Structure 1
């Protein structure tokens, strides 16, 4: 008599794709009753406000109420270093200087943390 083979059922993993811009605009317009053009203009206005606040003359901080805080962070320059030993390669090299630059930091607020 032949032995029965054990069949193990694999759990179905449905990969969820992120929403597209049109899906986001469509869902918001359906929930709020605004047209898609009005929703798009709200996002456009918000991006202009973020650009203005994070610009050179702005305060450097923009808060999306209840979701996140966007900050401009100035990263200072790094001086050049000579004869730095790299243990992985077993040799010494010169590391060039890096100029100062601006970066964007996004901090989630409590309401966004609680959603996850």
Structure 2
């Protein structure tokens, strides 16, 4: 078997930063970078409204993703259980109710990435 040499490790590409995304979109659309930032702020505002307490609980960003809000109920703790890794007994804690946001790609994006 051949050993991997440390100098020839495959370099992983870095993810695009928020600032780089704004600059790229501004360049591609001919808008100012501040206009692109304002647009993203408005998108975020709409998502907060739709997923908030007075919203529908769903939001679709056309061609990209669908956001769904799921309410998770509270879980009562106080049960005694055994940790399977070390065999020690522990008592579970209460977990409060909370909301989870699920982001699902839409069909067109999923098919484009295959």
Report if TM-score (shorter chain) is over 0.5.
Answer: yes
The DSSP-based 3-state class of the residue aligned with 1:47 is helix
TM-aligned CA deviation for residue 13 of structure 1:
2.3
The answer as to 2:72 corresponding to 1:75 is: yes
Greater displacement, 90-99 / 53-62: 90-99
Aligned length: 109
With structure 2 as the length reference, what TM-score do the two structures score?
0.82
Alpha-carbon displacement from aligned partner over 1:76-105 (angstroms, at most 9, x marks no partner):
111224222323232332212211111111
Partner of residue 35, structure 2:
38
Max Rg structure: 1
Distance in 2, matches of 1:78 and 1:109, equals 32
For structure 2, the 5+ residue unaligned runs are none
With structure 1 as the length reference, what TM-score do the two structures score? 0.81
Structure 1 segments (4+ residues) deviating >6 Å:
none
The answer to whether residue 43 in structure 2 is matched with residue 52 in structure 1 is no
Distance 1:28 1:98, change over 3 A: same
Paired residue for 2:61? 64
Unaligned segments of structure 1, at least 5 residues = 1-7
In the alignment, what sits opposite 1:5? none
